[in-house]
Structure formats: C-alpha cells, structure tokens
Structure 1
C-alpha cells in the first residue's frame, strides 16, 4: 500500500486536500485500499485553510514515515516565510520518502527547504518569477502543468495539482489504470505534465452558452474544415448573428480562434512526440505538415521540430534521474 502524507500549515489552500479525491477514487477503482492518506501538521490538531475550513491533523515526529509527501500551497506565497521547524521536518521527511510534491505554491516551501536547488520546477504562472527569484539555483518553468525531477514533483496552480496526483497514480499503477481513475473522476481531459498552463479555450472566455457550444464543437472536430456556417449551426444562430456575437464575446474572428485551437492541439501532440508532423497536421486541421510548420513558427517563434527535441531532451533527463 502506498502511504500518502499531506503536510498542512495554517492558511493552506483547500484545493491541496482536494487532490486526495484522486487517491480515494483509485482505491474504489482498484476495489482494494492501494493508497492510505493521512493529514499531518507540525503540532497536530486543527489546521485552518485560507478559506477558514478546519482539518484535523496528526502531529509529525522523527518517526513519521510516509511513501509520498504532499506539501500544500498558500494563497500568497510572497508574503509568507515558512517556520524553520517546518522546513526542517520537510527536508528530513523528504530524505526518507520516495517522493515529495509541492502543490501549486507549495513549490515555495520546497524551495525554502533547499529541495529545488539544481532541479526543474513549476508553480502557478502568476508566481513563477517570484519563485525563480527566491530560488535562483532552481530552473523554474512557468508554462508546465507539472514537473517531475527525480524525487521532487511540483505542479502549476490549483487544478493542475489534480493532474500531478493522477500522474503519481500512473507512475504507481500504469497508464491504463490512471485513465480509469480519470474517467471515474469525470476529468474532461487527462493532462500530462509537459502541457502548457495556458488554455486557448479559457483565454477566449466566451460569455454565452451558445458561443461556448460552438467552441467545444470546434475543439472536438479540429480535423474537419470547420466553416463558419458549421459553427453557427452548432450555436443555433444564423451565420451573420454568429459572426457578430463571436467577435463581441471573444475579441477574435472565428477563423483566428479556430487557428489558435488548432495550434494548441498541434503543440500538445508535438510535445508528446507520438505522431509524425503530417499526422499531427491532419489531426489538428492544417492542410499539411508544411502549412503547420509555417503557422507554428510564425506564432511561437520556433519550429515544431525544435519543440519536439526540447520535449524529448527533458523526458530523457527525467528518465535518467528516475533511473
């Protein structure tokens, strides 16, 4: 059985313990207790979240042993310094465990404990620069969902911590089992750690259900031509109405928005490195590999091949460290 310890401090974000649902559902899917989850704090007793919710915790000691430590984040890590005794425990406990994770801004705590020195790490995009400034020996990558560097795991903001927890389940029990857990959690899309924190669907931020329906239709049909008439039909609007409302709500033309969605899908497939450029172009809705290269390079300032090499290099480094 894998033993998961959550180390909580006053002011922790509720989403940190929300990730415990991943391990709970893993037990249900497995039909046996494959994970045991325990909440800890330095002194034990009630620990209060930033929302005011109280959680009962066990006190840690030198004998506390867990397979995995999950370190909670806080609402504003730039205005908080972790107590020395807490840092000492985290440092010592990490040395005795198989892995330690900083959930969202929990990466700041790992950094203060010296656990990020010489490692790749991520955190909520809004605090990435602050983390790099506080931890100059770390390599902070602001645009990743989660990063695994040896025994140290760090995640982007809030919901990305769910992806990190699911990544642990995949590491422990394989991809097929993790997919079953994701399905039981009704996670819309299981994101691998290498994906960008940025979401084009979120950036477009349509205000009405009709435009959201059109964008969702586009997202699942990127390999098709996707004419404006098709999107208008999905939104139950006339073509003229659709074009006017779409521009008003997103600030983009339908054609530009679709290109952004195609590029995001292509980038994710390129980083995963499982398909040829021609296949990716076809799946994402570009004319061919050449068209994809042209648009990709113009938008991101780098070629698809360069991005793939970087992704493979990062993966190779991770595998080497994991051994």
Structure 2
C-alpha cells in the first residue's frame, strides 16, 4: 500500500493538515480496499493553529521519523517566518534521497526551501507569501500565479484550497482521472482545476455582477467533440466576446478556449484509462479531430504522449 506521511511541524495549519488526510482516505482500489495508508507524523505533541486564537495539540502514533520509508511526504503550511526544527529538515532530505515524492501545501513550501529541496526548481506558495519565499531563497523560481507546480518528485501548491487540487492531482497521477473525479465528487468539488490556473479568482458578488457561467460551462463540457468557437460560447452565454472573456476569467481564472482545451485533455485521459478506443476515435470524441492534434496538446499538458500514458496507466 502507498504510504502517505503528513509531516506536522509546530504551528501547522489545521486545515492544511486535514486536507491530505481527507483526500487520500477517500481513494480505494479495484477491490474496495484503501489505496493509501495515511500517517500523520508529529514530534511528541505538536501545536496546530486554526487561526491565531485557536491553537490545539495534535498527537499521533507516528513520530517525525515516520516520513522515512513513506512513498509520499506532504508538508502542510507553517508560519512562514519560523525555521523548522533541524531534525525535521534532515528527515525531509533523507526521505527525498530515499526516493519519496515530496509535496507541500501553502507555506509548507518554506519548510521544503529550508531543507534545500526547492533549490533550482520552480515552485509556488500562497500568493501573499510568494514574495517572501523568493526574497529569502533566490535560488528558487517562485511562480505566485499558479495553483500548484509539479516538478516530478517535488510538488508545491498555493493557499489552503489549492492543497485539495494538489492532492487530487497526486491521486490522478497514481490511480487515474476516474479515481480523482470520484474523490472530488465526495468532497463536493467541481472538476479539478489545472495547476496552471490563476490563484486569485475574483468571484462576482450579486450586487455588482449577476452573470453566472455555470450553465455555459456545463454546455461546453457536453459538447467537447464539437468545434466550439468563441462566438458559439458567447452566444450561449448571451454576452459579447469582451464580456465573456471578463466573466470567464473572473469565475474560472482562465480564458474560454484554454478552459475548453483543459476539459478536452481531461476527457482524453479518461478515455485512455477506461476504454480501448483507437487514438483516432479518442481524438474525434474529444474535439481534437486528428491524432496529431491530440498528441500535441496532450503531451504539452500531461508531459507524455497518449500512447505512453495509456501504456503506463495499464502497467
């Protein structure tokens, strides 16, 4: 069983700490057995913070050394100005050297930075702390605009809610799009947001902007195989192109065509995982038309070709 060790450092954010415990506990294998063994690793009794005025103690049968031997180690957010215990940082480095996949949620990126695991890498954290991370660790390529960054063996995510996106992304990497979608439904989350989506989304308030694109997004999802244009989408939303672009970015963090492309790639992943359809049929069903077009966009977003993805998932 895949062991997920959640490293709880002193001052850990309570919600950050709960997110991986909740998400990975929802995933089961084909036989219905849990797919992950989630372990919260603390140093005797660790103080967690649910806001500045609501601290509480966290206890667990697993100490910090529980990260050694884990397949995935996740570091939830901590106070950004606090330097983690030297032993915890050493254990993080040993876990990484032993082949563990290391991830952080929110300001947990500062712990990874102190451990030297982000040097020379692209990373992100909560937009409010990205400047401090870049200033204190100039060897890190800090991207403050994205939800999460996947560097293979090291991953970082933005603020608290982006931790959900990161954990679902890891589930998708391990068990496929269907398993991630199933967990998202239990969490009552919309389809998973792509890592490159903007962190800060200005959700409109009823008194200033009543436009809701929910019906249009559903309409687009149900027509992935059709050659939708901006004019088609704007017509369905009953907006001008300019208004559509403004409302779309405010509510999704990206443009209509980029959102549509991400949905098509996601659907292609599902078909590659769950069917034996030839690539030509997958390309047709997802609106890419030609295999070459499917291969181009799939490789850019997923990092591998459709054929290699299907083979790797089957293995």
Correspondence 1:266 to 2:254: no
Identify which of 55, 66, 69 aligns with 2:58.
55
Question: Take 2:74 and 2:141, find their aligned partners in 1: how far apart are those partners?
Answer: 20
C-alpha distance 257-219 of structure 1, shift in aligned 2 (>3 A):
farther
The CA deviation at 1:176 is 2.0
Show the 5 A alignment for 1:14-163. 14-19=14-19, 20-27=21-28, 31-41=32-42, 43-51=43-51, 52-57=55-60, 58-61=62-65, 64-74=68-78, 76-77=79-80, 79-163=81-165
Question: Match of 2:300?
Answer: 312
Q: CA RMSD in A?
A: 3.5
When the two structures are aligned, how many residues end up with a matched partner? 256
Aligned 8 A contact 1:69 1:97 in 2: no
The CA deviation at 1:72 is 1.4
Q: Give 3-state SS (helix, strand or coil) of 2:210's partner.
A: helix
Show the 5 A alignment for 1:168-317. 168-199=170-201, 203-207=202-206, 211=210, 214-217=212-215, 219-220=217-218, 223=233, 225-226=235-236, 256-262=242-248, 264-270=255-261, 274=265, 312=300, 315=303
Aligned 8 A contact 1:144 1:195 in 2: yes
Structure 2, unmatched stretches of 5+, are 221-232, 249-253, 269-286, 288-295, 309-315
Q: Give 3-state SS (helix, strand or coil) of 1:225's partner.
A: helix
Scaled by the length of structure 2, the TM-score of the pair is 0.69
The CA deviation at 1:30 is 6.1
Scaled by the length of structure 1, the TM-score of the pair is 0.68
Aligned 8 A contact 1:273 1:312 in 2: no
Aligned 8 A contact 1:218 1:258 in 2: no
Q: Give 3-state SS (helix, strand or coil) of 2:73's partner.
A: strand
Structure 1, unmatched stretches of 5+, are 232-253, 276-282, 284-307
The CA deviation at 1:218 is 5.0
1:109-157 Cα offsets, whole Å, 9 max, x none, are 1011110011111111111121111221111111211111121010011
The structure whose residues are more often helix, as a share, is: 1
C-alpha distance 17-7 of structure 1, shift in aligned 2 (>3 A):
same
